[in-house]
Amino acid sequence: MNRIAIFTSGGDAPGMNAHIRAVVRSCLNRGIEPIGIYEGYQGMIDGDIATLGRKETANIISRGGTILKTARCEDFKTEQGRERAAKNVRDHGIEGIIACGGDGTFHGAHYLYQEHGIPIVGTPGTIDNDLFGTDYTIGYDTAINTAAEAIDRIRDTAESHGRVFVVEVMGRHAGFIAMDVGVACGAKAIAVPETHTDLADLAGRINEHAHRRTIIIVGEGDQLGSATDVSRMLKESYDIDSKVAILGHIQRGGTPTVRDRVLASRLGVSAVNMLLAGKSDCMIGEHAGEITTTPLNETWEKKKPLPTFYVELSSVLV
């Protein structure tokens, strides 16, 4: 291969810039021209494509977000949109693509390969850590550390005022962030989509504290609803007053942790290696410290299980 492109798509994740840098450096070291596709699939359709080099990727390893930007692209969901994208890829002489993102990104990459035969591999860039085939995703470690720091600050106020705080963290339909920060921050209860959340049990745990000063963690996508819903139900059914804190997109931004920078760099180099080895239509991940490949369709067709020890810890350490 003489030209390999990289793009980022879907939600941004801390470590994406470190990943871009690693792909560029790996290509240059092999005599391959690295190409950047801006604005994700939208840029692929619009032809927003340019050569990347050491200058463009200097001093970005510690920056959050993505220098290549990202965007949602409805046009790429159509055959006509994918055909335009494939034409632009070929017109720019691109012979392989690295797609960094989540399951939506991988859906698009899978169709691009199936319909147009363009060699493409995916790398897991999402704070949710919900992709089957890798132990950790780029951005996850930074997100949980950011959330934990925020929750520690909220606890100070909860203790000072004797209040119940219901804190909502991101994760979509996966409870990895909620479980990690809940255990790490000593939450009284953790509500996640993978487990049944009993409102009566939740109220009982809160009432164990005479002054009702405690933290409840709610992962978005929980069966009871959002943190606002849980707070309302606690008041209506058990006369428990609580404050709501929704951490939201603060979890996506900021300087990536060392762990995320190293993971992003390792996956970037490995993605280039896999393309050169003829691999395609697969995700490059890390499992038990080893680089692995997983067919792209399996990353969303198979459910990544939440380790059972989380449930035990959250029950024992209340």
Instruction: Look up the domain containing 173 and give its range.
Output: 141-252
Asked if residue 59 has pLDDT above 80, the reply is yes
Name the residues annotated as catalytic. 128
Same domain, 107 and 219: no
Same domain, 118 and 267: yes
Q: Token pair for residue 272?
A: 């280039």
Q: Is residue 307 part of a domain?
A: no
Q: Is residue 315 part of a domain?
A: no
Phi-psi region of 174 (alpha: psi -120 to 50; beta: other; left: phi over 0): beta
Work out the pLDDT band at 307, boundaries 50, 70, 90: confident
Q: Is residue 245 part of a domain?
A: yes
Same domain, 79 and 155: no
Q: What percent of the chain has pLDDT over 70?
A: 98
Domain at 60, CATH number:
3.40.50.450
Same domain, 271 and 134: yes
- Rounded Cα gap, residues 307 and 269, in angstroms: 29
Mean pLDDT for 203-221 is 84
Q: Is residue 309 part of a domain?
A: no
Q: Is residue 317 part of a domain?
A: no
Same domain, 268 and 244: no
- Give the pLDDT confidence of 189-200 residue by residue, as tens digits: 999 999 889 999
Number of domains in the chain: 2
Q: Are 243 and 166 in contact (CB under 8 A)?
A: yes
- Rounded Cα gap, residues 142 and 260, in angstroms: 7
Mean pLDDT for 107-136 is 97
Mean pLDDT for 148-155 is 94
Same domain, 199 and 284: no
Same domain, 17 and 121: yes
Same domain, 92 and 218: no
Asked if residue 211 has pLDDT above 70, the reply is no
Same domain, 149 and 123: no
Same domain, 91 and 12: yes
Asked if residue 101 has pLDDT above 70, the reply is yes
Same domain, 59 and 80: yes
Question: Which range, of 169-178, 193-202, 305-314, averages the lowest pLDDT?
Answer: 305-314
Same domain, 159 and 12: no
In this prediction, residue 318 carries a pLDDT of 64
Asked if residue 316 has pLDDT above 80, the reply is no
Q: What percent of the chain has pLDDT over 90?
A: 85
Work out the pLDDT band at 311, boundaries 50, 70, 90: confident
Q: Is residue 95 part of a domain?
A: yes
Q: Is residue 308 part of a domain?
A: no
Residue 217: which of 151, 304, 306 has the closest Cα? 151
In this prediction, residue 297 carries a pLDDT of 97
In this prediction, residue 162 carries a pLDDT of 81
Hey, which of 70-84, 257-271, 303-317 has the most confident mean pLDDT? 257-271
Q: Are 90 and 263 in contact (CB under 8 A)?
A: no
Domain at 199, CATH number:
3.40.50.460
